[in-house]
Structure 1
């Protein structure tokens, strides 16, 4: 199927190029027809065809500045740690010499089909308050088979290595899928007495225990079982990609699944996009392009990581059952005694249902109650947990307050005020 997908994409290339040429001709202001409804309709049809048949490349973060201490400062990206399947990117802020350091924040982006740039809004919102780092996971089809395998155990090792790279008093945030491996990594570090364990751990919309309020995604995985996924969705990367012959879960399948869950919404969005183009409504056009340029850019996952995640998290629920293993070592969240825990959920989340992330609170049985906090953001779905206006206005202040209060230099005995007022 992957080879057929590549063949179809190549076959449509000439038609896509022709459609793009038509769009340029009929949207050129020097062409009198471009100022008519008919001309804009032709250009809109051509752009809609080109965009729906395009392969979207990896987006950029594009964050060049932020505001710190009420002053605009420049931001630049630098890779501070590198492995075959991940780069650790630091968003370096041009701060005055001698200024007190802000908390180090490691944002672990999901490896679930989209690039780390999906968290652009998350990074942007935290930049004024923290020294931000993010995991930039590699597209598996771009990694040669000579680089070896990458599974859930490797993911956990990567998180531990990155925390060691950043040093003590680091704060970690896991968005969605990485909530499980991050909780596992912190559990392992605490069990070992690792002094590089983070000061705080924030889990956002993650599938810690998918038996609680299961969603359609959870039910499908449990119904089909791991073998079904191995037989039906695992494919080999076709030539001439660098990862030729690597077994992967293709990104286009993941995207098809996500779009199928809300197909009517996507159809309406594209219909509205066409009408915005015809009516020359610039705001609606820009918003559509920005969202779908990111949403339609997908990456492949290694087969071993995908299948192990499905089996561990969604089929057998090993972490909440206390049966999850890492390199022969049992993952025991009760070993966590020093890492403050903040869990965040969305009221209308249709990917990780209410209660699934909060389950981490129950698993960390030896963590003092005053080092735990939970918040449910009303009126948001999965995406709204880490992006959007409500995220910036309601969730970010709580995250910042939690991080500052439980940093090792400023740790207090009670919950921060903002978090204490949160809905539980």
Structure 2
């Protein structure tokens, strides 16, 4: 970039122009004020310092400097023989002396003012250039950091050491943005790695089943077992892909919003999962207060389904699940179950994260349930949180929505 097209050059030109304009106005005002009052000041000083009776001692050459018409201003009678100067001549000589002194003083003032003004303009230019550099230095630091960043060094921060101000806030905002980008990139990398692992496992099982189970001359019973296994693996792959697509759709935000009665959705979801809960020996309690949210009914139904299904499936025989809704609490699902370490709770919202290692047992989830809940909640401007229950094990998951206008 050319120097004269840089922001520093523009700021320097602006600062210099303002300083030079201020200096020119100050010099002009001083010159005009001095010029207005100088004649009367010099005339009074000359009259006081050189009385009329002393004007006769002035050299005769001053007579030639008298203005035209002085003789007419003098009285008609001849000058006294004593050699004193008549009043008209004294006034003319005083005016001549005052004019000469005024002209010399103004010339000197103008010369000094112009010299000082030129020095002031040069000094202003240098000072403006230095000041612009100091002001723009944080921006240069931010620019260099942004140019240097890539996916491998998103951990770097500007950490601008400067007093509070607009540029300090800009640098801190940039650091905050880098932190969010680092978390997003890390989450995407983990998601891609986990998704590849989760999808590779069913494919490996299908390949092994086809090569081993159907090799040679398989019997009808063997074919039936392999068929059942392949269908089970296909169902698992389908659930994973469906969960990934739903997660991606939730991350993109809402395309349309409608008034959704969440309390009614909660009762419908619980009714749909009653049979599964009964098979596992889990009792579900529903306590709903009216709760209406502006959002997507399909995504909200999936959010509730994942919460209740996780609470039922990750429970113990004879366990309990409590579902509550209300304007103050949002959605709250509490379940008994295995003890969850407090340090593990925040990690459960990450894709493919489970409390225990995957065993590939029938009906085992893909580990996307709470991550989909978190994505749907964020798409609706809500916040999903979880906490380990101090007694009885299990989790309490809450989704708190922003208040909406009635």
TM-score by length of structure 1 reads: 0.22
Which one has the bigger helix percentage?
A: 2
Larger radius of gyration: 2
TM-score by length of structure 2 reads: 0.22
